[in-house]
Structure 1
Amino acid sequence: MPEQLWLPGLEAPPPPTDGLFFAVYPDRNTAAGIAKFAQQLCADARVRSKPLAANRLHVTLRHLGNFAGGLPDERIEGARRAATTLSIAPFTVEFDALTSFAKKPRPGPAVLVGEDGVQGLHALHDALEAALGELGIEPDARFTPHVTLAYGMPWAERRPVEPVCWNVREFVLVHSLLGRNQHVELARWSLAGKP
C-alpha cells in the first residue's frame, strides 16, 4: 500500500463532530408505532442492525452542515432567522412504502417514504430553502422525505406498507452530536399559516 504523502502546512482537516439540521418529528404515539415496526423489520431480516430509538425518528427537512469542534454561531443564527419568516399551515404527512437507500447489493438504511402524502413536507422544505437563500445560505435541492428506520439493512425493493400518518404542527432546529447518537433541540417553531 503506498504511503500517504503530506505537503508541508497542509494537514488533514479534523473530523466533523457536530451537525445542524431542520427536522419534523412524529408525535410520541406515532414514533412508538414506527419503532415497533422497525424492530420487527430488523428481526425479520435476521441482521444485527438495531432500529433507531423512537425519540430519534424524524424527517430531515434541510441539512445545514457538519462541523468540527462545535456549531458556528452565525449558521445557527441564520437558521433561526430563516425559520421565523415562514408562514405555513399545519398539515398531515403519510408514509406508505418501505424502501432501501442502499446500493444493491450492499446493506444500507431502510426507510419509510411516500408520494402524495409527503407534499406538505416538500412545501415546508421549499419555504425553508427560499428563506435560507435570502440569507445567502447556499441552496440544496436534494430532498427525499423519509424516516430512517435502521442502518445496515439488506437491499430491498420498494414495497407498500401500512400507512404511517401524523399531523405536522411544528418543526425543529436540531444539533446532532455526530457519532454519539444524540440530538439536541435548539429551537422549535409552530406552523401557523393560513390554509
Structure 2
Amino acid sequence: MPEQLWLPGLEAPPTLTDGLFFAVFPDTKTAAGIAKLAQQLCGEARTRSKPLAAGRLHTTLLHLGNFAGGLPQHKVDAAKRAASSISMAPFTVEFDAVANFGKKPRPGPMVLTGDEGVVGLHALHDALERALTHVGFWESPVTARSYEPHVTLAYGMPPADKRPVEPVCWNVREFGLIHSLIGRTRHIALERWPLSGGES
C-alpha cells in the first residue's frame, strides 16, 4: 500500500473539544418553567427536535473561544481576572418573545428573546468585554460585535416568525465562567461571581 503524501499546510485542522464562555443561569423554578415552554413549542411544531434539559438552559454573555485538547490555562486565568473586576448591581431580566435563529428554509435553534427586558445583560456583556480587553485576553484588537441575549430552547426547529410569549423573568444575581465539553452536552462552571455594587 503506497504511503500517503504529507504536504505542509494541508493537514487537517485539530478537532475542537473545549469551549469557554461567560453566562448567566435562571433559578431552578424559572428553568423548569422555560423547559416546560420549550416542550410545548416542540410539540406545536411537530418536530423530532428535543427541548434542552432545564439544567442546560442559560444565556451566554460572551463566548471566549473553542479550543482543541483542553482549555488554555492562561486564557482561563485572564478571564477570571477580568470577571473579578466587575462591579454591577443585580438586575432583572425578561424575555418576552420566541424566535428561530436559523436561516430559512433551513431548521435552526428556537430561542427566547427580549427587548427592553434584557438591557442589564447588554450592560454586563459590555462590562466584561472592556475588562477582558484591560487584562489583555484578546490577542488582537476586538471589533464591536453584535450581541443578542437569548435562551436556546431547542435545536433543529423548523423556520418560524418571531412571536410574543408570556414573559419569562428572573433576577440575575451572579454570572459564571463556563467550560463547555463540545459535543458531549456538558457544561462545567469553573467559577461564579456575585453581582454587588454599582455599575462598573
TM-score (norm 1): 0.94
Residue in 2 that maps onto 1:42: 42
Q: Secondary structure at 1:95's aligned position in 2? A: strand
Deviations 1:3-30 (A, max 9, x none): xx96336411211000000000000000
Q: How far apart in 2 are the matches of 1:78 and 1:136?
A: 7
Q: Give the partner amino acid of 1:182.
A: R
Q: CA deviation at 1:136?
A: 2.1
State the alpha-carbon separation in 2 of the partners of residues 172 and 76 from structure 1. Answer: 12
- Aligned positions, number: 191
Counterpart mapping for 1:69-148 below 5 A: 69-138=69-138, 139=142, 141-148=145-152
* Identity percentage of aligned residues: 69
Aligned to 2:174: 170
Q: Which moved more, 1:7-16 or 1:179-188?
A: 7-16
Q: Does the residue aligned with 2:41 lie in a helix, a strand or coil? A: helix
Residue 33 in 1 paired to residue 33 in 2?
A: yes
Other-structure match for 2:189: 185
The C-alpha deviation readout for 1:168-189, integer Å capped at 9, x for no partner, is 0000000000000000010000
Looking at structure 1, the residues matched to 125 and 77 of structure 2 have their Cα atoms a distance apart, in angstroms, of: 18
Distance (whole Å) between structure 1 residues aligned to residue 167 and residue 6 of structure 2: 52
Q: Which among 146, 149, 153 is matched to residue 153 of structure 2?
A: 149
1:193 is matched by which residue type in structure 2? Answer: G
Displaced runs of 4+ in structure 1, greater than 3 A? none
